Amino acid sequence: MTDGLKPYPAYKDSGVEWLGQVPAHWEMRRLKTICRLTYGDGLAADFRQDGTVPVYGSNGRVGYHTTANTKAPCIIIGRKGSFGKVNFSTDPVFAIDTTFFIDSRFTSFNLRWLYYLLKSLKLDEVTKDSAIPGLDRSDAYRVLAPLPPLPEQAAIARFLDYMDRRIWRLIRARQRQIKLLEEYKQALIHQAVTGQIDVRTGQPYPAYKDSGVEWLGDVPAHWELKPLKRWVRINASVLPDTTPADYEFRYIDIGSVGTGFLTREPQQLRFSNAPSRARRVLHMGDTIISTVRTYLKAVYYVDGDAEALVCSSGFAVLTPGPSTQPKYVSYLVQSNTFTDRVTAESVGTAYPAIAEGRLGSFYVPIPPLPEQTAIAEYLDAQTARIDAAIEASRREIDLLREYRTRLISDVVTGKVDVREVAPQLPEEPPEEEAEWLDMEEIAEGETADDDAAAEAL
């Protein structure tokens, strides 16, 4: 669809370095002449009533309420927290005080075009140096923006809506594929670590016994059952308070771990400037499992270079003993059946966390060492293929997001002319239109956690 798009016949200098040239007949306007950024209102979570009106914070929808403070449709822009982030709603919403909003009362231009324009204006870079970073309205108003005539605004909005639907559907398809692959991976792990199949033969074991553990059910007759703490050591090594201030180490925080992998490289820290939770020393073959926030869903097997490696006290460190295959431990505690059961029985309400003693008291299935090794090798081979497919899908999603950002920028800044193409695009059935607009928000794949912090400031 975009390959046949041509540039406009004539251009002029915009006077804005990052923007370059714009179509000759477009205006350049300060944002304050295009729209008014209206402050949202305070509405703490405790005061929200059970209703159907979406509540929006700076990072998107954060709940529901009974009344709205916008008309429909509307644009919501992050002011604190995820400042500069732009959301669109076809329904009236309650925009909270971490946001600005725009509806038909505060602009005379095409709202959908304006949504795409605002996404391309880099508002997350428009901020004053302060203790509390955020989007200052007076700074935003000074931003120069390209303004096409109203008919072109409608054409741009129509074209980008059409392309946006297709991009988000591709993203959602890849996300569904990732979910199915992760479910398949979990099924393989569960079957192997609970003895539902003998990985050496691909068949069930010849004899089973009742484990006496609800989440396990029957296990192979010759397997042992022990509390986790009698099979591995838990949190055996810590940095003492007497550690030299200049001691350097690599640090894994709770936000750096997914299920079976690191989401980012460990930080390089000195003991003198490290957080007090940076205490648990790791060794080759250890498995770390989260006990706060993510409730066991962050699991990582320490492989390769473990020298001077430390993790947060938000992890439990499982160190294998002499009759333990280290990788088998990791696969066992990655199993959803294990993590879901432990979480359900261990998470408190006052301070959501899983106590080390409670974690260690859970019974686990223990095959003979040769079988542990066979299971670990089998799962290494099987999950490597699955993980490669998941990673390929994630790369596709990243490329689609990058393409979407570039496409929006090229169209709203006039690098390509969509005036002839837009009227020829097919209409979307109303039910698919609604599905896409909801999908657009869901497929962003982000959370609104930072709004709670921003509201408290």
pLDDT of the residue at 306: 83
Long-range CB contacts for residues 131-134, cutoff 8 Å, separation at least 24: 132/80, 132/457, 133/83, 134/79, 134/80, 134/83
User: To which CATH superfamily is domain 224-366 assigned?
Assistant: DNA methylase specificity domains (3.90.220.20)
Is 127:136 a contact under the CB 8 Å cutoff?
A: yes
pLDDT of the residue at 70: 97
- The whole-model pTM stands at 0.81
CATH code for the structural domain at 11-170+394-456:
3.90.220.20
pLDDT of the residue at 441: 56
Tell me the pairing of strands 218-220 and 74-78.
Answer: unpaired
Distance CA 57, CA 51 (A): 17
pLDDT of the residue at 437: 55
pLDDT of the residue at 451: 38
Q: Which DSSP state fits 424?
A: G
**Residues 6+ positions from 163 with CB-CB distance below 8 Å:** 1, 2, 404, 407
* Domain ranges for the chain: 11-170+394-456, 224-366
One fold for 11-170+394-456 and 224-366: yes
pLDDT of the residue at 428: 74
Tell me the pairing of strands 94-95 and 53-57.
Answer: parallel
pLDDT of the residue at 448: 42
List, run by run, the mean pLDDT of 10-residue segments along the chain (457 residues). Answer: 81 93 97 97 88 93 94 95 91 95 97 96 76 85 96 96 92 94 94 95 96 88 94 92 93 86 89 92 92 78 87 92 91 85 63 77 93 96 95 95 94 96 84 56 45 36
